[in-house]
């Protein structure tokens, strides 16, 4: 059974879409369940000014993607890197054990987008 927060973020996802000219993009997937998440970042002065996502997956995958965007908006990169898989699930008031892999994808996609931003900035 999904929590009320999971259902809210699934039926009314926040920050859906792409950021044109995003300066950080991260994509992860889980071949076992077929979920694919892509996170787009607009980082200015080390702060996440905008974040959007596109997810192909189950309700929990969409909810965790939506929640991770809310958790990082306005945060510094260091603060965003501290967001863990457990923190995403906790922010949604929990996920069924069989769906915990979905929250892992949301945090992983975020971390990949930050790594992409850092690698582009270093060039």
Q: Which long-range contacts (CB under 8 A, 24 or more apart) does 83-92 make?
A: 83/107, 83/110, 88/64, 89/64, 91/5, 91/67, 92/3, 92/5, 92/6, 92/9, 92/63, 92/64, 92/67
Q: Which position among 22, 48, 51, 102 bears the catalytic label?
A: 102
Whole-angstrom Cα distance, residue 48 to residue 100? 26
Q: Active-site residue 33, yes or no?
A: yes
Cβ neighbours, 10 Å, residue 76: 14
Q: Which position among 7, 16, 25, 33 bears the catalytic label?
A: 33
Task: Say whether 93 sits in a helix, a strand or coil.
Answer: coil
Contact 56, 35 (CB under 8 A): yes
Active site positions, annotated:
33, 102
């Amino acid at each position: 059974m999904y929590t009320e927060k999971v259902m809210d973020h699934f039926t009314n996802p926040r920050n859906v879409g792409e950021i044109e000219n995003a300066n950080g993009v991260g994509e992860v997937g889980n071949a076992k369940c077929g979920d694919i998440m892509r996170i787009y970042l607009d980082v200015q002065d080390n702060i996440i000014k905008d974040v959007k996502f596109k997810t192909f997956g189950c309700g929990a995958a969409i909810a965790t993607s939506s929640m991770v965007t809310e958790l990082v908006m306005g945060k510094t990169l260091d603060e965003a890197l501290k967001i863990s898989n457990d923190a995403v699930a906790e922010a949604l008031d929990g996920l069924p054990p069989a769906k915990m892999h979905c929250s892992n994808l949301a945090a992983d996609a975020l971390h990949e987008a930050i790594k992409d931003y850092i690698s582009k900035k270093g060039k």
